[in-house]
């Protein structure tokens, strides 16, 4: 029995070896270094700062020529032949970017929206020094966490792959470019993507609880802000300016140390002093926000009536209304068991923050909580300041 098992194991191993065939590559690729950069290699404290712009589950398409030797002949050739090369790359379904055209349309980006924690004022990158421009090639590779030895060549970001292809020292720039374009593969036929469906059965409280969405006006504002950078991201231009932005913005991104305190002034303004922002809400919405901001524990919306007195106190101080009866009627309508008015106010609160800053920052300040679960504000209580 033991011999029979060994025989079949051996046969299986030989079959696998026989069937395996190593794919053949064109000589252009076998005679030089080719190095692939994986998203997992990106330094988390760097690339993660721009996660709201880049999604490496998505496909990108651009090519740029990088040269760490600063050979002026290469740049002259690429500049003089740029229109022709751009057309040739386009025929291979590639978008060729010429450095330094990465500043194109960057004045359209609302930098304060995406980086409210930065004191740096961006103005179409006019405040970038010549030294930073001259080192852009190495800055891009450093930003990606590249640790290879290739000094000169094309860096291709195509679909979900980042590949750096070496230019040999003994080949001319024109020969290298010509052979590189010739050996580029064209895009495969359209692939069908797998669609996944959630099979999780929601309980009744989840099924009937409305989602806390931003309002239509806010949705339009946010969509416009993101559309301004979408073209830059898709064509690769934003990919190129990210290393420069990293140098200009000195503070680390998206960590609790850079969250602004929230300050409630003596006249009930909502301020984020470190971001130089004021968040505006109508009086009843603001009173609801103050209630959640003040409470140390999450609030179950089904038990919101237990907080009626506190809510009324906030509303009374904030509101300009002279009639206490009118204010109480407004709160009673809000607390009506069958009413969904509270979700309208939670939506307004969320919208007020999303209008002013990117989700990565805003989510710390508005009211959150899974469907059917108590709601709360995740901001550390030490960052909440009530001015007397």
Domain span including residue 320: 259-386
Lowest-pLDDT choice from 60-64, 194-198, 222-226: 194-198
pLDDT at 14: 47
**pLDDT tens across 52-96, in order?**
555 544 556 788 899 999 898 998 999 899 999 999 998 888 888
What rounded mean pLDDT belongs to the chain?
76
DSSP symbols for 8-66: HHHHHHHHHHHH--PPP--HHHHTS-EEEE-GGGS-HHHHGGGTTT--TTS-EEEEEEE
Residue 267 and residue 237 share a domain: no
The structural domain count of the chain equals: 2
DSSP symbols for 76-137: HHHHHTHHHHHHHHHHTT--EE-TTGGGTTGGGS-HHHH-TT--PPPSTTTT--HHHHHTHH
Closest CA to 377 of 302, 298, 312, 307: 298
* Per-residue pLDDT at 153 exceeds 60: yes
Which of 195, 220, 255 is where one domain is finished? Answer: 255
pLDDT at 264: 96
- Most confidently predicted of 82-91, 263-272, 313-322: 263-272
Residue 284 lies in a domain: yes
Give the pTM.
Answer: 0.58
Residue 282 and residue 166 share a domain: no
Is residue 47 very low, low, confident or very high in pLDDT (cuts 50, 70, 90)?
A: very low
Residue 318 and residue 370 share a domain: yes
**pLDDT tens across 106-132, in order?**
555 666 777 777 645 554 444 555 455
Residue 155 lies in a domain: yes
- The string over 254-284, giving b where at least 16 C-beta atoms fall within 10 Å of a residue's C-beta and e elsewhere, is beeebbbebbbeeebebbbebbebebebebb
* Residues composing the chain: 388
Q: What is the mean pLDDT of residues 204-220?
A: 70
Residue 346 lies in a domain: yes
Which of 255, 286, 311 is where one domain is finished? Answer: 255
**pLDDT tens across 344-383, in order?**
999 999 999 999 988 888 999 999 998 889 999 999 999 9
Lowest-pLDDT choice from 116-125, 177-186, 245-254: 245-254
Residue 143 and residue 29 share a domain: yes
Q: What is the DSSP letter of 352?
A: H
* Per-residue pLDDT at 299 exceeds 70: yes
Residue 176 and residue 65 share a domain: yes
Residue 114 and residue 63 share a domain: yes
Residue 124 lies in a domain: yes
Residue 213 and residue 158 share a domain: yes
144 torsion bin: left (phi>0), alpha (psi -120 to 50), beta (else): alpha
Q: Which two three-digit tokens encode residue 133?
A: 């421009």
Residue 188 lies in a domain: no
Q: How far apart are CA 149 and CA 167, in angstroms?
A: 12
Residue 202 lies in a domain: no
Residue 304 and residue 175 share a domain: no
Residue 283 and residue 377 share a domain: yes
Residue 41 and residue 169 share a domain: yes
Residue 9 lies in a domain: no
Q: What is the mean pLDDT of residues 4-9?
A: 44
Residue 151 and residue 289 share a domain: no
Residue 301 and residue 217 share a domain: no
Cβ neighbours of 382 (radius 10 Å)? 7
H or E element: which one contains 312?
Answer: helix 308-318
Residue 211 lies in a domain: yes
């Amino acid at each position: 029995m033991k011999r029979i098992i060994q025989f079949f194991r051996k046969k299986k191993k030989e079959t696998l070896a026989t069937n395996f065939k190593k794919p053949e590559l064109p000589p252009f690729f076998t005679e030089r270094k080719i190095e692939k950069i994986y998203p997992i290699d990106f330094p988390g404290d760097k690339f993660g700062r721009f996660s709201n712009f880049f999604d490496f589950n998505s496909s990108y398409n651009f090519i740029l020529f990088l040269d760490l030797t600063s050979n002026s002949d290469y740049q002259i050739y690429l500049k003089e032949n740029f229109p022709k090369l751009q057309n040739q790359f386009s025929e291979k379904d590639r978008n060729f970017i010429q450095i330094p055209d990465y500043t194109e349309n960057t004045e359209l980006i609302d930098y304060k929206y995406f980086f409210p924690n930065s004191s740096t004022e961006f103005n179409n990158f006019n405040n970038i020094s010549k030294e930073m421009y001259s080192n852009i090639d190495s800055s891009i590779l450093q930003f990606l966490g590249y640790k290879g030895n290739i000094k000169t060549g094309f860096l291709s970001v195509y679909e979900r792959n980042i590949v750096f292809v070496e230019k040999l020292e003994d080949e001319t720039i024109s020969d290298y470019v010509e052979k590189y374009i010739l050996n580029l593969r064209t895009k495969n036929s359209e692939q069908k993507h797998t669609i996944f469906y959630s099979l999780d059965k929601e309980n009744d409280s989840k099924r009937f609880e409305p989602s806390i969405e931003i309002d239509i006006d806010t949705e339009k504002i946010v969509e416009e802000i993101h559309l301004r950078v979408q073209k830059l991201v898709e064509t690769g231009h934003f990919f190129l300016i990210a290393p420069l932005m990293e140098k200009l913005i000195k503070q680390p991104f998206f960590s609790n140390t850079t969250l602004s305190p929230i300050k409630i002034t003596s006249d009930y303004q909502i301020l984020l002093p470190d971001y130089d922002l004021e968040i505006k809400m109508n009086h009843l919405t603001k009173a609801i926000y103050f209630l959640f901001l003040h409470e140390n524990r999450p609030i179950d919306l089904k038990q919101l009536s237990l907080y009626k007195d506190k809510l009324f106190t906030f509303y009374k101080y904030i509101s300009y209304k002279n009639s206490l009866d009118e204010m109480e009627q407004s709160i009673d309508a809000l607390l009506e068991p069958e009413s969904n008015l509270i979700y309208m106010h939670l939506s307004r609160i969320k919208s007020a923050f999303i209008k002013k800053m990117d989700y990565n920052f805003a989510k710390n300040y508005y009211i959150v909580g899974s469907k059917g679960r108590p709601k709360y504000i995740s901001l550390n209580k030490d960052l909440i300041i009530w001015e007397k």
